[in-house]
Structure 1
Amino acid sequence: MLISSAYDDLLEQAFTLAGKPFARLSAMIRKGNKHEVGHVQVEFSDGNAAAGVYTSEQVSTLEKTLADYSIIYKMRGTCRSNGNAREALTVTESDYFSFAQNTAAILPNYLVAQLGDLGLLFVGYRPRHWEDRLLATVLLKRRQAPEPCFRLVQTGEEPLETVFWQRRSVQPYAMDVQELEQYLVGGVA
């Protein structure tokens, strides 16, 4: 499972190029005409008919279907999506306040359960701004797992970032991005 804070679809493009099927999940962070906050937009790379918008609880009913896919959870939504994209896109300050007020609904219990038995590695994530710290804090608090969390240390890390990670027991991991890429390519092949 990959949890992305990026708006773009570069992860999805990489999976498509590698021929790996994926499911993209994005939580609705603002109430729309048809959906409440916390509903989850589910899309499949192969056009699976199970695509649609589900309540957070209903996502767990897709467990057998999702087992055939790599899951990409877009914490901030994505710019390339169907008509529900505006309700799943976290862009403005008020969107982040809505996100903060509804954290229990935004991260589906199904995904939290999946994270429970896994370690967590933050790659390329920099908690420089308050909204970035908010997203990481929500993820770490909802996860509540005994497995350790790590982050790839980046050059130019600011003291605030270092303290943020230390206070949340997210340990530095000594691996550069090229080494990680080789590991992932070997695992995908």
Structure 2
Amino acid sequence: MSLDAAGLRLHARLVGKRIEEGKVIPFLGAGANLCDRPVLAEWQPGPYLPSGGELARYLAGEYDYPGDDRGDLVRVAQYVDLVTGGEGALFEELRPLFTGTYEPNRLHRWLASLPARQRAGASPTRYQLIVTTNYDDVLERAFADAGEQVDVVYYSAEADEPGRFIHVSPDGDRRPVPKHNEYRGLDLEQRPVILKIHGAVDRREEADDTYVITEDHYIDYLAHGAVAKLMPAYLMARMRNSHFLFLGYAMRDWNLRVILHYIWSQQARRFGSWAIERDPDPIDEKFWQRHRVEILEARLEDWVDAMSRPRS
């Protein structure tokens, strides 16, 4: 559904209430980083983060990828892994791209503004769980700029012990989540949580960078039982009782589709969900419709502006 200004205002009033009550989980894809970014003829390392396709084409050029599918990040990353004899060179290539000095965009800053808005509301504070497939830490820096503490939980794809999640507390302490159904280190009544389901860059220690990005990584990722079952059960319980809001996310990311299928199958009640896409792909449209996710055709910038206005 294409939204005009009036439609955006109505959506903002209805959905904004649920968001401020902590009952909507944003899912951020690579497209979330394109918010506020000017149109580029060709992306190169510099002041802006790449989309998945841009990163794929960049790596394809750097490593003479021979295929026609140069915009397929998973395929291109697998090729780099194979021709360089392992993931080491690939991870070294990725690190400077994800540790650059990038300015949080208006979407990041709006998400970081939610805790203060929630504390000012009439309802009991129930902070946000934000799920992202992005590896960078721009969202975390937006929270830091806003003076807000946040817990980060990310998937670890380390070769010696894959298939687990790591919890990073606001003081920087890192601890594995050994038994997902017994872990008690998170509390959404106290502060928000960012869940990074494809791994994360670690600015402090390069050896701790972890990415789910190649075909082999994705196979390993899904081979460790249902990845959703490895997440802290506390976070999964929140997902089972929430609306979903997809921002800059495309359904071509099939491994997240597996997780979503699992979550939706566990919901006792179905909660409405929304996907914000300016020009939705026909395949995406069919997937969203099948799962009763309402597509709202709007620019992310316009959507954030509407959500940022006080609800009347």
Query: Shorter-chain TM-score category?
Result: 0.7 to 0.9
Q: How does 1:163-178 map onto structure 2 within 5 Å?
A: 163-173=286-296, 176-178=299-301
TM-score scaled by structure 1?
Answer: 0.78
Compared CA separation, residues 185 and 80, structure 1 to 2 (3 A): farther
Compared CA separation, residues 57 and 134, structure 1 to 2 (3 A): closer
Separation in 1, partners of 2:263, 2:158: 20
Contact 2:243/2:271, CA 8 A, preserved across alignment: yes
Alignment-derived partner of residue 19 in structure 1: 147
Separation in 1, partners of 2:240, 2:165: 20
Separation in 2, partners of 1:46, 1:126: 33
SS at match of 1:60: coil
- Matched residue type, 2:183: S
Range with bigger deviation, 75-84 or 12-21: 75-84
Range with bigger deviation, 99-108 or 158-167: 99-108
Q: How does 1:38-117 map onto structure 2 within 5 Å?
A: 38-47=163-172, 49=173, 51-57=174-180, 60-64=183-187, 67-80=189-202, 82=205, 85-86=208-209, 88-102=210-224, 103-104=226-227, 105-117=229-241
Separation in 2, partners of 1:150, 1:158: 15
Per-residue Cα deviation, 1:38-96 (whole angstroms, up to 9, x for no partner): 3221112333x5x31122426631134x542210000111122556735x421211110
- By how many angstroms is 1:6 displaced? 0.7
Contact 1:124/1:152, CA 8 A, preserved across alignment: yes
- Matched residue type, 1:40: F
Alignment-derived partner of residue 8 in structure 1: 136
Equivalent pairs: percent with the same residue? 22
Gaps of 5+ in 1: none
- Matched residue type, 1:133: W
Alignment-derived partner of residue 148 in structure 1: 272
Contact 1:22/1:71, CA 8 A, preserved across alignment: yes
Alignment-derived partner of residue 136 in structure 1: 257
Per-residue Cα deviation, 1:96-150 (whole angstroms, up to 9, x for no partner): 011122224443322110112211100000123xxx1221331342243321221
How many equivalent pairs are there?
176
Compared CA separation, residues 59 and 90, structure 1 to 2 (3 A): farther
Compared CA separation, residues 20 and 166, structure 1 to 2 (3 A): same
Give 1 or 2 for the bigger CA radius of gyration.
2
Gaps of 5+ in 2: 1-128
TM-score scaled by structure 2?
Answer: 0.50
Tell me: higher relative CO, structure 1 or 2? Use CA pairs within 8 A at least 6 residues apart.
Answer: 2
Range with bigger deviation, 13-22 or 132-141: 132-141
Compared CA separation, residues 140 and 123, structure 1 to 2 (3 A): farther
Contact 2:278/2:297, CA 8 A, preserved across alignment: no
Alpha-carbon RMSD: 2.6
